[in-house]
A and B are shown apart, each in its own frame.
Chain A
């Protein structure tokens, strides 16, 4: 295959990946014309439909057709022409194979691992909140954003990290941009991680508060995971599928059981306030971080991954079967006026900040550097794993968006507006949403919560309950059987489960980062097997996210409303750091001609995040600017007045403190990113003048592996693999599977 190609290596000649560049076959032209036509029709319907009933499937197929075209053409262009992935070069997995972290992994298996690592609650929650602006802005940004920004970031970071033996984002920034930039990036990564953990935990708290059914099911996941851990360690070591099968069955029982206990004494005992849940989560996070991974983390991870993939598949099937109709407007008034109750601010820049993960997620750069690049078998597979993995994530985001816009929109706003706005009861909430122009009555709202057997759905902010209502309606319509309450709690459980897994894993990663950093000055602390070090570092990390979580939970203005923008901006700022790095690398490698591929999304992301940061810090509208909000409440406090929704002087103080803190954090994050960006500009200028600069790329070593590049092997690749198997003798393991 690749070895037979001659290359001119100027980027304009034959590609070194073994992809043939010639006339496309008639069949391929017909197929791709058809895909383009389907996409064009779907987008046209979405763009032109006003006032009539529009099926949600138009959104689904518009997205799928766009992904297919982007993957086939743009991702291939980036892999072969921009990055020049070269399958004749051995990957670090092949060169440094140690069976632990460096490990040649089948591309389809690695795709699964990578997807499981990047997909989390972000793409589920962000689109739900962004739905307050209508379905069209969200749909467009999720699809366009992933194609030109999110998937490009994941792909290029994965590639460059792979060429550097899987170095982490922070390490690469330090070596390629400079020490100060590297330190800024390291601090940014750590601080952003804390905010992300706190906001994720906040979503769980909001979903479980006053819900005995949810608390019961989620609490049971802990003994279930412990049992699985024991099973895998002692009873039947290594039988992961058995253990996971048992775990999933117990999990379903736990969901059903929640329905039985909710009206009993146990149910009353499990009706917990948000403050108690915060305490429980903080203790849990700390214990999980110091326990050995086999006990809790690894088995939980199996459970959450299988649940996650299961729900996503089920949701896609459910959407096609139920064919729900869009209830939201294409673009609501909040998009123009920026006065939405779910989050404040106008469409630009806040819709991009809110959707975050489903379109572009800086956090993925941490996974695409470090873990995944050490396992890639062939260079050209980065297209499937990096770009393809992110397209999947975007598809999840689109499904979540659909779930939020097919439910009654009065219910949507009653659920997602803070308690200060809805008043907390069905009557006051009905008055509130009728004021927004919806006809949803108090009886309707009561009926919705009765259908899912929750005490109340009013002001259940955070996105997770809304998504669960959407999913339960879709599954109820698709599969029947009167199981809406079961599906609601099933969805809550699935979200809470993998958010908790993310919190576990994130706390541990944060702990490692802290130990590693402090280990530079205090050697002993960096030793990961030193118990006191583990405990101190875990306590610091948990303490940090726990306090932000507590601040969010007790915020009189509504924690999600206040913290989600901070989370979104932080994530997008991390993406700016990652895109800056890859742009610098393209220029240093002498590929200025193609630097627009990452520079355009970088500039866009910087404009969005800097505008948002500027507004959050300097806006004189108290609904948007943190310091304006602070001023408003501080002035009122000085005059001895109470401002709603604060109910007493203490809550006034709280608002003043929280908005000051949020404003400072906001400004701090933006400054860190500017430090990295300014250093990058200097390096880029030098590199352009010199026509490229040396980088830390590892020298090429010839590869001896024969593996397909894409998901399905081409005829040529099949022949090459058959030759390989003949040479090796009996084709065992991986090659056996390839023949299927």
Chain B
């Protein structure tokens, strides 16, 4: 029972983090580790993501 609840919670958390793009930072860290790069700071990383979003407006429908 508790494991089922814990797994459901993990699933929801995973979904929300992926959906909001929060998980991108983890992906980036994993990527850096795999390729032996030194990662930039989180602040710098999020700033670059926000700047990329500037040029790619997501349309919202009626």
Interface set of A (CB-CB < 8 Å, partner B):
100-101, 106, 108-109, 112-113, 117-122, 196, 199-200, 232-233, 237-241, 244, 292-294, 298, 301-302, 356-357, 361, 363-364, 366-367, 370-371, 498, 501-502, 504-506, 508-509, 512, 528, 567, 571, 732-733, 736-737, 740
Contact in complex: A109, B43 (CB < 8 Å): no
**Those of B23-48 within 8 Å (CB) of chain A:** 23-27, 30, 42-43, 45-47
Contact in complex: A122, B62 (CB < 8 Å): yes
Q: Mark B1-29, 1 if CB is under 8 A from A, else 0.
A: 00000010011001111111111111100
List chain A residues, Cβ under 8 A from B21.
Answer: 240
Contact in complex: A294, B62 (CB < 8 Å): no
- How far apart sit A293 and B56, CA to CA, in the bound complex (Å)? 10
Residue of A nearest to B59 (CB): A509
- How far apart sit A366 and B25, CA to CA, in the bound complex (Å)? 29
List chain A residues, Cβ under 8 A from B60.
Answer: 117, 120, 301, 498, 501-502, 504-506
Contact in complex: A364, B57 (CB < 8 Å): no
Given A118-B61, A241-B16, A101 contacting B56 (CB threshold 8 A): yes
List chain A residues, Cβ under 8 A from B46.
Answer: 232-233, 237-238
Contact in complex: B62, A298 (CB < 8 Å): no
- How far apart sit A596 and B51, CA to CA, in the bound complex (Å)? 44
Tell me the minimal C-beta distance from A729 to chain B in angstroms: 10
List chain A residues, Cβ under 8 A from B50.
Answer: 233, 292-294, 298
List chain A residues, Cβ under 8 A from B16.
Answer: 241
- How far apart sit A367 and B62, CA to CA, in the bound complex (Å)? 11
Partner pick for A240 among B22, B27, B57, CB 8 A cutoff: B22
Majority secondary structure of chain A interface residues (helix, strand, loop or mixed): helix
- How far apart sit A711 and B24, CA to CA, in the bound complex (Å)? 22
Tell me the minimal C-beta distance from A291 to chain B in angstroms: 10
Q: Please name 9 further chain A to chain B contacts, defined as beta carbons within 8 Å, in addition to the given A106-B18, A119-B61, sorted by A numbering.
A: A117-B58, A121-B62, A122-B61, A238-B22, A294-B53, A302-B20, A505-B60, A506-B60, A733-B23
Which 8 pairs across A and B sit closest by C-beta, in order of nearness?
Answer: A122-B62, A240-B20, A237-B46, A505-B60, A294-B50, A502-B60, A238-B46, A109-B18
Tell me the minimal C-beta distance from B43 to chain A in angstroms: 5
- How far apart sit A498 and B61, CA to CA, in the bound complex (Å)? 10
List chain B residues, Cβ under 8 A from A238.
Answer: 22, 24-25, 42, 45-46
Pairs across A and B, CB under 8 Å, 10 listed:
A108-B15, A233-B47, A238-B22, A238-B24, A294-B50, A371-B58, A505-B57, A506-B59, A509-B59, A512-B57
List chain B residues, Cβ under 8 A from A501.
Answer: 60
- How far apart sit A118 and B60, CA to CA, in the bound complex (Å)? 6
Given A237-B43, A238-B46, A241-B22, A740 contacting B7 (CB threshold 8 A): yes
- How far apart sit A93 and B36, CA to CA, in the bound complex (Å)? 25
List chain B residues, Cβ under 8 A from A121.
Answer: 62
Given A237-B42, A294-B53, A733-B30, A109 contacting B62 (CB threshold 8 A): no
List chain A residues, Cβ under 8 A from B59.
Answer: 117, 366-367, 370-371, 505-506, 509
